[in-house]
Amino acid sequence: MDYTIRIGGQAGQGLQTIGAVLGKLFTRSGFQVFTHQDYMSRIRGGHNYYQVRFADHPVSSSRSQVDILVALDKVTVAEHQDEMAPGGIIIYDSETVKEKYEGEMFLDVPARKIAMDTAGNRLMENTVDVGAILGMLGLGLEQLEKLLEETFLRKGREIVDQNVAAARAGSDYARENCGQCAFTVPADASGDGPPARRMLLDGTSAVGLGALTSGCRFYSAYPMTPSTGVFTFMASQAKKHSLVVEQAEDEIAAINMALGASFAGVRAMTGTAGGGFALMVEGLSLAGMTETPVVIYVGQRPAPATGLPTRTEQGDLLYVLHAAHGEFPRVIMAPGTPEQAFYLTGKAFDLAEKYQIPAFIISDQYLADTEWSLDGLDPSRIEYHDYRLRAADLEKLDDYKRHAYTDTGVSPLAEPGASRHLVVTDSDEHDEDGHIIEDAETRTRMVEKRLLKKMPLIREEISPPLLYGDDSARTIICGWGSTYGVMKEAVDDIGGAGGIAMLHFSEVYPFPGTSKFDYLALLGRAKRTICIENNATSQFAQLMRAETGFQFSDHINKFDGRPFLLDELLAKLKALEKSHA
């Protein structure tokens, strides 16, 4: 069992509400769920859709074929009618869309009339649609009724009861009028046992949860899609977790606020998208020179300039890697799933503090907005060490030098104002005490300390890529970041008989060595190696060639602002295989 429901309409019509409710319902019923959103950069209007895929087996990508299309306007029918799966049904309200469609594919659900008849409120049209979908699938309404109570009880019992009545009426209508519906869905995916307890988590919330679990106490940002989600998540948790969240006047201020907070002694983070990161670059360099720990979340979107503000691309990898002037170490994490986003955010905080460097979480709109079913997260897997010298530790020292030379290049990081010792740093080149210098000898020793001594140690912390599939596969597909899910399902779909495996990099800089896993030998044994990226110039492949000398035999690139869909990637892989046959 594997069905896709797509809700299409204009911004402001409530399609996010319907999609979010369905995602929660299916998850609570024990199904595996994957959702993604496609929306235009406007408050109202335009064509948008919310897609929910649910199955009785793990799913980690979206498909192009749709089983149930909820058309909230005529444009949705025109845009997606050709994408319907065999037996697929389009539901719509002819009164709302001002059109009557004929044929077995269509089911006219008078959602507005039902909402008015049962609840006297047209705002409950969306609840009618959710009920109708459950009716078409032959599912009960118990989980929906619980969810409606959780959502609306604060508004009063009457509102809850009206919504329940609207949902029941929608379900009854679909059951009575959708004779052609042939969907087969178990009541829950757990069979006779209780529904499996899973959580539904998106990439944005996962980064936020990772930051909170890692002890982040300051977050500053200027809103910019798709990074704004992390900003609002952190703001929503501020009181509960004693977190300071500041909306800065721009990104220049945002990163410098975070650096100030970090210098003052707390774990700090900032976030933005590519355009905003351009403004942060001088601050990034300041972090490099002053060895101030900071975590920077960069949500990629299509550029240059404003580009496609609400769409996705993996176009900023080399930009994030090379941004800022001068030479200093940095770490770049590129999670492929919400689960990875949670743990890698924790690792970014740990490495930033341990080595006093900037650490990046580089994501994109696709991962930020997609929701995945997870069995849970384990906060104990996130390491927390306070690497700073606090008051008691400082008082034991006869002398303190912020940038003292050490064997590892890592100097003692003190909390300013916590002792009699003065904590000084400077954006100019400086000596061990943090005071300005210009002599050649000190400059050389400082570069050796903060760059050359640290880099080998940081590289040892980086995990190797994940291999999924047969290690003797003839074909190996390779990617980074948000392409994880669709590549994994492509490997599952083609199967072992096809001799295909996946290599996924989620920790991309410093580029992982081969001492823990000789992935270069693996690639060298393969007949075909294909790098799959959501950009036009194969940025990851360029990085890998520069770091290792390895060159992929083929590339699959997509750069239209949309993510790879499973059917689409499978078709490209099969076409590539055929062309080389």
pLDDT by residue (tens digit) across 450-493? Answer: 999 999 999 999 999 999 998 899 999 999 999 999 999 999 99
- What pLDDT shows up at residue 462? 98
Structure tokens that stand for 383 in this block? 């390491």
- Mean pLDDT, residues 61-87 taken together: 96
Residues with Cβ within 8 Å of 403's Cβ and at least 6 positions away in sequence, in order, are: 291, 411, 425, 430, 431, 432, 433, 434, 446, 449, 450
- What pLDDT shows up at residue 187? 74
- Mean pLDDT, residues 517-533 taken together: 97
> Percent of the chain at pLDDT above 90?
90
Q: What DSSP character marks residue 154? A: G
- Mean pLDDT, residues 374-402 taken together: 93
- What pLDDT shows up at residue 283? 98
- Which residue bears the tokens 């509102």? 159
Angle at 578 between CA 576 and CA 581, to 5 degrees: 115
Q: Which helix (H) or strand (E) holds 95?
A: helix 94-97
User: Do residues 13 and 73 lie in contact, with contact meaning Cβ atoms separated by under 8 Å?
Assistant: yes
- Mean pLDDT, residues 48-58 taken together: 96
Q: Which of 537, 534, 541 is nearest to 572 (CA)?
A: 534
Distance CA 563, CA 298 (A): 18
pLDDT value at 96 more than 80 = yes
Does the N-terminal peptide bond of residue 309 adopt cis geometry, omega within 30 degrees of 0? no
Task: Give the DSSP per-residue string, 176-206.
Answer: HH-TT------SSTTTTSPPP--EEEEHHHH
Q: Which amino acid does the sequence have at 411?
A: S
Q: Which of 194, 193, 237, 196 is nearest to 217 (CA)?
A: 237
- What pLDDT shows up at residue 392? 86
User: Do residues 504 and 477 lie in contact, with contact meaning Cβ atoms separated by under 8 Å?
Assistant: no
What does pTM read for this prediction?
Answer: 0.96
Residues with Cβ within 8 Å of 91's Cβ and at least 6 positions away in sequence, in order, are: 68, 69, 70, 71, 106, 107, 108, 109, 129, 132, 133, 136, 174
- What pLDDT shows up at residue 577? 87
pLDDT band (50, 70, 90) for residue 498:
low
- Mean pLDDT, residues 323-350 taken together: 98
Distance CA 165, CA 104 (A): 28
Question: CB 251: neighbour CB atoms within 10 A?
Answer: 24
CA separation, residue 506 to residues 141, 353, 465, 483, 503 (Å): 40, 20, 7, 10, 10
- What pLDDT shows up at residue 121? 86
pLDDT value at 427 more than 80 = yes
pLDDT by residue (tens digit) across 533-568? Answer: 999 999 999 999 999 999 999 999 999 999 999 999
pLDDT by residue (tens digit) across 215-230? Answer: 999 999 999 999 999 9
Question: CB 265: neighbour CB atoms within 10 A?
Answer: 19
Distance CA 87, CA 95 (A): 24
pLDDT by residue (tens digit) across 250-284? Answer: 999 999 999 999 999 999 999 999 999 999 999 99
- Mean pLDDT, residues 169-194 taken together: 84
- What pLDDT shows up at residue 189? 67
| Cα pseudo-dihedral 535, 540, 543, 545, rounded to 10 | -110
Q: Average pLDDT, whole number, for the chain?
A: 95
